[in-house]
A and B are shown apart, each in its own frame.
Chain A
Amino acid sequence: MSREQLLLISSLGKLKQRYGQAGLDKIRASLDRYKGSLSSRKIVLTVVFLDDEASLSSFDLKPVRPVTPATAKAAIDHIISRLNRADDSGKVRKSGESGTSILILGGGEVIPYFKLRNPALDSDDFVASDNPYGCPPGSATPDKCLLPRIPVGRMPDGRGADDGILLRQLDTACEAANGSVSTRISFKKSGFGYTAGVWKEASQRVWRDIGFAGSLRICPPASDNDVNASWFRAKEFLYFNVHGSDSEPYWFGQKGSSFPKALSPESVNRFFRGRSMVVTEACYGAIEMDRQSDSSISLAFLVAGSSCVVGSTCTAYGALTPPVSEADLIALHFFRNVHEGLSFGSALVKARAQLAATAMSRQGFLDEDDKKTLLQFLLFGDPTVSVPPFSPGSDEDAKNAKPRKRIKKG
């Protein structure tokens, strides 16, 4: 069996332009440490700067200039085919099985997202997506990119010249590669959920089906003013079913026509310390371009040490009441797949397939909202990280959890 591969893609020119030579040197030193850490998990890290001749010569490629979604994908396809010749099964792999994953170092300013036609014809002009990077060569249209087979993750860096956003994510990935994620959080078995009141029933169903211990809070009455460190302490999974906005940094709850502030980047920066996995169903939950850690909740979680964030790049949809659909199914299946031992990247690949299968079995087809959901959810973080399988809900931490407001199951 061939060894597991992680292909890290970035742009030397863009990183240098943003962080200067000093910042670039720090990032390269961090990548060296990361490579060493991954090798302890028998994962081979291949770092390729798409605009750097030295990176590409061994793949018989010339520097990619300019780096566009299409040129980046063409280069990635070529490199993957070289790396993956011995293993082209394309099946979702459990941790330790051979195969290749892709990690994009940098946000959309460094390696651009694909801007796919929006199947839903709603207020979004396009769907920003990393799906095409994980799809077979030549697949770059929405219908061909619904279900990528190669796990793709991204370490976003938002706006500005703060190299700390990337360095912190690389540190987290090093710790995960060294087993720190497993030893520090995998046996807590406890989650934290936060839902807008309007989606209480759907969230309860997701919460129940995942099997989390811990508390599911509802906004309102809970709000950003109530956030404190105990909400997040020792929680392995953080689940958010709230509203998001492309023009504001906050996530919101809802009751009737009232949309109170549920969470702010400030609260995350102030109270969150941990390695929790985060899934947010919020519209624009994964928006990072033109944002910083004080204006993006996802970036705030990553800078504070989250091992991954799964979120949407644009307007997302979900059900009010069971049966749950779209974004709810992404969250449900991602968490369950991680429970079962899949890596973060494979868990999302499989979650999309499970959403598609559910929609097909209910309706006989994928409607436009299902398709948009498949395209819009992406993974921030190292796609190769996994945590050991466990049975949730039996540890002391969860037993002792005293939620301020616990909602009844089902």
Chain B
Amino acid sequence: MPKTLSPERGSKKAETGSHARKPVTVTPKVLEDVRKQIVSRFPEMKGVRPSVVRRRLPSDASIVDMIEKIDGELGTTLARMKTKASKKEIYCASFERKIKTSAGGMIQKIVRVTFDKEGHILKLVSSK
């Protein structure tokens, strides 16, 4: 049974931002599986509790129009593809940690993973 998870305590942005419009309904098991995969790839994120938000899947027809105005061929190709946003529930977990550099300062390292309700990782990016 899916359980609604609260965003990470202290993650004010996640609570008040536009992401929070849709409830997060990831099971703890799925989230733990995702977390394990991230930590295996980014050992520096061990012990970090991610903030989780549901990705909004807005209708982006206007984006195709904007692309077409910049590059007609690209816009036309994209329009022909009739891309549709998945109706799946998609989530983004964000792992953040400050890490010491060799110069002695700190940099903020962020790993963001997009995954579906079943825990399949759809996209994985990290901060530069």
Contact = CB atoms under 8 A, between A and B. Distances in A.
Interface string A100-129: 000000000000000000001111000000
Residues of A in contact with B, size category: 35 or more
Given A91-B70, A349-B70, A256 B123 contact: no
B58 A365 contact: yes
Contacts, number: 163
Interface in A352-378: 352-354, 356-357, 360-361, 363-369
A195 B4 CA distance: 40
B59 to A, nearest CB: 8
Nearest to B66: A147
A147 to B, nearest CB: 4
B101 A259 contact: yes
A305 interface: no
Interface in A332-390: 349-350, 352-354, 356-357, 360-361, 363-369
Contacts of B100: 259
A90 interface: yes
Contacts of A350: 70-71
Given A353-B67, A356-B63, A247 B102 contact: no
A120 B53 CA distance: 11
A365 B85 CA distance: 6
B14 interface: yes
Nearest 9 pairs of A and B residues by beta carbon: A364-B85, A317-B125, A259-B101, A353-B70, A147-B66, A248-B105, A365-B85, A316-B128, A121-B17
B10 to A, nearest CB: 13
Interface of A: 90-92, 120-123, 146-147, 149, 198, 241-245, 247-248, 250, 252, 256-261, 281-283, 285, 312, 315-320, 325-327, 349-350, 352-354, 356-357, 360-361, 363-369
SS class, residues of chain B in contact with chain A: mixed
Nearest to B100: A259
B19 interface: yes
Contact of A92 (B44, B71, B103, B107): B71
21 contacts: A123-B108, A147-B66, A147-B67, A147-B70, A243-B107, A252-B107, A283-B128, A315-B110, A315-B128, A316-B128, A317-B125, A317-B126, A320-B125, A350-B71, A356-B63, A360-B60, A363-B122, A364-B85, A365-B59, A367-B55, A369-B112
Interface of B: 13-14, 17-19, 41, 43-44, 53, 55-60, 63-64, 66-67, 69-72, 74-75, 77-78, 81, 83-86, 92, 94, 96, 99-103, 105-108, 110, 112, 114, 122-128
Contacts of B56: 368
A372 to B, nearest CB: 10
